[in-house]
């Protein structure tokens, strides 16, 4: 009787092992998700200048340069890739301090739009940023304001955040700062993120003005969202394992 029961259960046991392997494989893929994190650091890029409408790719992400918040189709000078170790790179602005690597600078009220390589979306967890001061300083009444971040969710809706720039040092340079963004942007998947800046106007407001709202960004920490099929595979495998386990217990009890 016991031998017969074991023989009857053998195919079910084999199926259970197969499904267990499937579920474990899905779990392994999910556990590997943190390894999909990446940092857009621009180190593979050469110094360059960009007009509005230009774009380039770094670490599999596309960066589209936007002329200004008032002219998304404009083609004026709006961005540069800066070699922070080259003292001659910044000839139209004062380079930020504290960064001798390659970084991106948005100029003349410009912005830059970050998008992923597929429709799954990505999360944003950190960034290095600074203000880029015009040669000769800001117009009277203006002060370094904020880096602005506007992210479009894959599921719809927008998340917005502002990061205060540091004040200028004795050389009129703004030191690079680091911001952790997990609390604001770490829980949803985004299809795009736009980085721009604004200036304090002395009246409590912060807005682009006179082509002097400028910023630098580096070490953008992003994490690609795992394939939806991974979660589906895990759920299906665990459900099937549970069903076969119950059948096996019921057969054994009979």
pLDDT digits (tens, 9 = 90+) for 57-86: 999 999 999 998 877 788 999 999 999 999
Question: What pLDDT is attached to residue 229?
Answer: 45
Domain ranges (residues) in the chain: 10-32+230-253, 35-226
The pLDDT mean for the chain works out to: 82
Question: What pLDDT is attached to residue 253?
Answer: 58
Question: What pLDDT is attached to residue 247?
Answer: 59
The Cα 206–Cα 145 span in angstroms is 6
Residues in the chain: 254
Residue among 24, 64, 106 at smallest CA distance from 192: 64
The Cα 36–Cα 242 span in angstroms is 30
Q: pTM for this structure? A: 0.77
Q: Are 192 and 153 in contact (CB under 8 A)?
A: no
Q: Indicate the burial class of 47 (C-beta count within 10 angstroms; 0-12, 13-18, 19 or more).
A: exposed
Q: What's the CATH architecture for 35-226? A: Sandwich (2.60)
Spans of the chain, pLDDT less than 70: 1-35, 119, 227-254
Question: What pLDDT is attached to residue 36?
Answer: 73
Question: pLDDT per residue over 117-133, tens digit each?
Answer: 776 799 999 999 999 99
Residue among 127, 199, 115 at smallest CA distance from 154: 115
The Cα 122–Cα 116 span in angstroms is 7
251: phi then psi, degrees, rounded to nearest 5: -65, -40
Gyration radius (Cα) of the chain, Å: 26
Question: What pLDDT is attached to residue 202?
Answer: 81
- Name the DSSP class of 204: S
The Cα 201–Cα 47 span in angstroms is 32
Give one DSSP letter per residue of 53-99, joined into a string.
T-EEEETTEEEEEESBTTBTT--SEEEEEEETT-TTS-SSEEPPBS-
């Amino acid at each position: 009787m016991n031998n017969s029961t074991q023989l009857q259960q053998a195919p079910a046991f084999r199926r259970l092992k197969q499904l267990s392997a499937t579920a474990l494989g899905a779990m392994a893929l999910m556990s590997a998700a943190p390894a999909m994190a990446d940092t857009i650091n621009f180190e593979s890029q050469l110094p360059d200048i960009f007009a509005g409408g230009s774009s380039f790719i770094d670490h599999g992400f596309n960066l589209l340069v936007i002329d200004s918040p008032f002219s998304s189709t404009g083609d004026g000078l709006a961005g540069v890739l800066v070699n922070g170790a080259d003292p001659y790179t910044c000839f139209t602005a004062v380079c930020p301090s504290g960064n001798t690597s390659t970084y991106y600078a948005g100029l003349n009220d410009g912005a830059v739009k970050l998008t992923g390589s597929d429709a799954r979306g990505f999360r944003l967890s950190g960034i290095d940023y600074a203000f880029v001061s015009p040669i000769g300083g800001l117009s009277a009444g203006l002060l370094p304001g904020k880096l602005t971040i506007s992210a479009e969710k894959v599921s719809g809706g927008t998340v917005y955040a502002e990061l205060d720039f540091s004040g200028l040092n004795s050389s009129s340079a703004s030191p690079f700062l680091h911001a952790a963004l997990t609390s604001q942007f770490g829980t949803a998947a985004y299809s795009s993120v736009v980085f721009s800046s604004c200036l304090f106007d002395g009246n409590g407001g912060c807005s682009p003005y006179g082509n002097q709202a400028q910023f630098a960004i580096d070490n953008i920490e992003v994490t690609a969202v795992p394939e939806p099929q991974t979660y589906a595979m895990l759920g299906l495998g665990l459900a099937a394992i549970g069903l076969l386990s119950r059948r096996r217990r019921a057969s054994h009890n009979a």
